[in-house]
Amino acid sequence: MKVLVAAKRVVDYNVNIRVLSDNTGVDLNNVKMSLNPFDEIAIEEAVRLREAGTAEEVIVVSVGTSACQEQIRTALALGADRGILVETDEDMQPLAIAKVLKAIVDKEQPSLVIAGKQAIDGDNSQTGQMLAALAGLGQATFASQLVMGDGEATVTREVDGGAETITVKLPAILTTDLRLNEPRYASLPNIMKAKKKPIDVYTPEDLGVDVTPRVKTLKVEPPASRKAGIIVESVEELVDKLRNEAKVIS
């Protein structure tokens, strides 16, 4: 059984985002970049499947500039067996990424594709679902528990009303929620081993995929700054301010 894991390079979650002065995007100069946290969960789940003897190989794939090799190496240090980089300087949007992943799925023929439920930069939560539609495969999104069976996977997934358990036939697409697992840290020996693991590099043209952006960003602005709060001395004062100043009660 082969498991394919999608991994995205994003601004580290500890970084305070700055908008460019011309409002064309986010300032990435000298900014720390990391693996998307939800994709770390996907990598951890795939590695656990291999350690349990369910999977034989874990392949991590990333789509973006050559700098994405850094995140692929991180995934390899976490336990993935080999990497694939689809290198492009285009602004990669969810549909284009899904098309590229579809081409990789056709090439590698994995039994299971695992991706984070969303990336923390765009927060689109679209790529996994689009990939499932393009590939004609079953999908289990927002997974909080995974149990592999004979030719199928039983997945408990987060829904608005609580939790839902479904079974999908393999091959299938799985997207991970926060509660699926807790990712491990890469050990120094595994970091050294990761340097020798292979990374295959393709371009979208090699795969016959058109990644031309379909959505144009017109303007990027930081959130409006909030006014400082005040401290009230009593419930009566709070009610008075809500009624006369905020006008939220009558």
User: What pLDDT score does 201 carry?
Assistant: 97
Instruction: Work out the mean pLDDT of the chain and round it to a whole number.
Output: 93
DSSP annotation of 78: T
Residue 44 structure tokens: 């951890």
**What amino acid is encoded at 168 in this protein?**
V
Residue 186 within any structural domain of the chain = yes
**Cα separation, 175 vs 39, whole angstroms:** 9
- pLDDT surpassing 80 at residue 246: no
Q: Is residue 116 within 8 Å of residue 8, measured between CB atoms?
A: yes
Range of the domain at 81: 2-223
**What amino acid is encoded at 165 in this protein?**
T
| CATH code for the domain of 68 | 3.40.50.620
Confidence (pTM): 0.86
DSSP annotation of 197: S
Q: What is the pLDDT of residues 51-99, one digit of tens each?
A: 999 999 999 999 999 999 999 999 999 999 999 999 999 989 999 999 9
**Cα separation, 75 vs 246, whole angstroms:** 50
Residue 241 within any structural domain of the chain = no
Residue 208 within any structural domain of the chain = yes
Question: What's the structural domain count of the chain?
Answer: 1
What backbone torsions phi and psi does residue 238 show, to the nearest 5 degrees? -60, -45
